[in-house]
Amino acid sequence: MATYEDFEKLDVRVGKIIEVEDFPEARKPSYKLKIDFGEEIGIKKSCAQLPQNYSKKELKDRLVLGVVNFPPRQIGPAVSEVLTLGVPDEEGNCILIEPTKNVPLGGKLY
């Protein structure tokens, strides 16, 4: 079982998607994202399986939550620096977890 101390090790922050590109090399339909996590963290790259529920236009400027302190992960030819958080819909496709109000970039989940 995870402890509260385990949870505290995760650095989950609010970011804004500033760029979305197709990722045709991925095994499952995915996008390459650039996410601005504010002044302290900066702009980070992420790969996410989102095309089933979101167009590139819908994602641009959207606020999301991401784990910013995992080590980078190689996803095919791309490197994902953050884990963009979501939950599965009825078909198992990703629905993003996002703030419902405008909040500062880089805000930490607590």
pLDDT of residue 21: 98
Listed in sequence order, the residues at least 6 apart from 39 whose beta carbon sits closer than 8 Å to its beta carbon are 105, 106
Starting at the edge strand found earlier in the chain, the sheet holding 31-36 runs 43-48, 31-36, 12-22, 63-67, 83-84
pLDDT of residue 103: 96
Per-residue pLDDT of 44-95, as tens digits, reads: 999 999 999 999 999 999 999 999 999 999 999 999 999 999 999 999 999 9
d(Cα 13, Cα 11) in Å, to the nearest integer? Answer: 6
Residue in 66, 67, 24, 75 with CA at minimum distance from that of residue 47: 75
Q: Which CATH architecture has domain 11-96?
A: Beta Barrel (2.40)
Question: Could you tell me the residue ranges of all domains in the chain?
Answer: 11-96
